[in-house]
Amino acid sequence: MTSIDRIFDKIKRSRRYVFERKDFNGIASYDQVGRALKQLVKNTQLMKLGYGLYTKARLNSLTGKPMPTHPGGTDALMREILKMKGVDFVMDSLSLQSLSGENTQIPSSVHYSWDPKQFNRKLLVGDRALNLPH
């Protein structure tokens, strides 16, 4: 079994959707992990979100481009990344009201606020940039 197969197996079995490069340290050397992740991105089984961050992906049936498989979409990916990095964040009030059931309106996108000293990476999911704290 190659390192690509072992890494892809670990990704498939995981309940998580966001992975860091260091999650695969025990499988192969640093360079082998990098090559394997690059190959999985090329094969559209993973998407690169930013430096050292990857998410599970699948092809969009309409556009033919890779998209995240997370059922909650890009907003849930952002929450998972911030929680994984241990960043304290706050969601905007309309999103909080919608999630708690106080409001029936669903915001088009959730806005997060956090201390940029805790997390200051550029993250891209498709055309959407998730790096700017609001």
pLDDT tens-digit profile of 39-71? 999 999 999 998 889 999 999 999 998 999 999
Residue 32 gets which letter from DSSP? H
Range of the domain at 52: 3-129
Q: Is residue 111 part of a domain?
A: yes
Q: Is residue 134 part of a domain?
A: no
pLDDT at 121: 77
Q: Is residue 113 part of a domain?
A: yes
Tally of domains within the chain: 1
Mean pLDDT across the chain, nearest whole number? 87
Q: Is residue 46 part of a domain?
A: yes
pLDDT digits (tens, 9 = 90+) for 78-128: 889 889 988 888 888 888 888 788 888 888 777 788 888 888 877 877 777
Using CA atoms, how far residue 42 sits from 65, 69, 80, in Å, is: 11, 16, 23
Q: Is residue 89 part of a domain?
A: yes
